Structure 1
Amino acid sequence: MTNNDPVDPIIFRESQRFTQPWVWLVVLLPAAMAWYGALEQLVYGRPYGTNPVSDQGMVIILIAFGILLPLFILSIRFVVVVRNSGIYVKFFPIHLSFRHYPFEDIYAYDAVTYRPLRDYGGWGIRYGSHGKAYNIKGNRGLMLKFTNGKHLLLGSQESDVLKMSVDQARNRKSN
């Protein structure tokens, strides 16, 4: 999928990242503790905690929680693209390329309000009582219903515009 395809132009594109303060608190608190523990134990030579890990263990904790976890959360991007050929979705870095959902496979769709915790157990790539969800923040999205009976919720900060874009693309395709 190229960005400038004249035959299949982009009608809608939305990219989301985790920007909520509570997400960063959950990520940066363990990161800060890992950095503090590493500083105490590796630089000042004072074992960190009542049951300290070895210096090698502290380095592993520092790398995992102090560096890799924040970088992973920072790298997450959820992208939804609507083209005349269908809906394209990428949840990077889990999906390295776009997943294509052709309009022929979608029999219904609607902009919806949902409850992320109750309906799907939170944010991210989630499975719940209403099917699969890709969501980053908020409680609005586009619910897709497929001809095979499956459902997919695409979380969106612009769910009404996303729905109108799908309407527009499907109308172009049928003409």
Structure 2
Amino acid sequence: MSYEVPFREEQRFRQWPLWALLGVVSLVSVVGMGPLGVVVAGVVCGFVWSLRLVTEVRDDGLYVRFAPLHRSFRRVPWTAVGSVEATTYRPLREYGGWGIRWRPDAIAYNVSGSRGVLLTRPGDRDLLVGSQRPDELATAIRETTSDATR
């Protein structure tokens, strides 16, 4: 079965400061642990290289997957969304960094940058989804939710 996805974005951890830090940690591991350090550094670097955040807007909700940590997409049905706003945020100060981040009142999925879409969810935690194209993502959500309510 084929269906149209109004918005899809795949992001990866490709920031040079992260890779510089991993390089230094890998070097220390190799020097400190010898051959085992090479294996550990390789596994850690391979894992970080494989991480990706996939975001899709579909007819029945927003789908977010942080692969390979999530085997399947996490779905946020449109009925659970109160409002949608493209926003600029401070990842370190507001969420403690990048990745899958939890606060008492919000969950964030992000891999780079400081832009994203904030979805308020009455009766549940707000959801921030980092995006390199936040205005496009917010527009796709608004258009899809307005189509779904017709």
TM-score (norm 2): 0.92
- Aligned partner of 1:172 among 133, 147, 150: 147
Once superposed, what is the RMSD of the aligned Cα atoms?
1.6
Q: How many residues align?
A: 150
In structure 2, the partner of 1:21 is: 16
Moved over 6 A (4+): none
Contact kept, 8 Å, 1:116 with 1:123, in 2: the verdict is yes
Aligned-residue offset at 1:60: 3.5
Alignment of 1:156-171 (within 5 A): 156-171=131-146
- % identity of equivalent residues: 35
In structure 2, the partner of 1:75 is: 50
In structure 1, the partner of 2:5 is: 10
Aligned-residue offset at 1:84: 1.1
Contact kept, 8 Å, 1:119 with 1:129, in 2: the verdict is no
In structure 1, the partner of 2:68 is: 93
Aligned-residue offset at 1:58: 4.0
Alignment of 1:116-131 (within 5 A): 116-128=91-103, 131=106
* CA deviation vs aligned residue, 1:5-29 (integer Å, no higher than 9, x gap): 33xx200001000111001011121
Alpha-carbon separation, structure 2, partners of 1:81 and 1:59: 41
Aligned-residue offset at 1:79: 0.6
Contact kept, 8 Å, 1:121 with 1:128, in 2: the verdict is no
In structure 1, the partner of 2:38 is: 62
SS in 1 for 2:6: strand
* CA deviation vs aligned residue, 1:33-69 (integer Å, no higher than 9, x gap): 333x2xxxxxxxxxx6xxxxxxxx64443322x2111
Alpha-carbon separation, structure 2, partners of 1:61 and 1:128: 34
Structure number, greater radius of gyration: 1
Contact kept, 8 Å, 2:110 with 2:131, in 1: the verdict is yes
Instruction: Give the letter for the 1:18 counterpart.
Output: F
* CA deviation vs aligned residue, 1:73-105 (integer Å, no higher than 9, x gap): 100000100011110000011111101111001
User: Any unmatched runs of 5+ in structure 1?
Assistant: 38-47, 49-56
In structure 2, the partner of 1:44 is: none
Alpha-carbon separation, structure 1, partners of 2:109 and 2:88: 14
Alpha-carbon separation, structure 2, partners of 1:113 and 1:128: 17
Alpha-carbon separation, structure 2, partners of 1:128 and 1:25: 28
Alpha-carbon separation, structure 2, partners of 1:170 and 1:92: 26
TM-score (norm 1): 0.80
Aligned-residue offset at 1:169: 0.6
* Stretch deviating more after TM superposition (144-153 or 102-111): 144-153
Note closer, same or farther for the CA distance 1:29–1:133 as it changes in structure 2 (3 Å cut): same
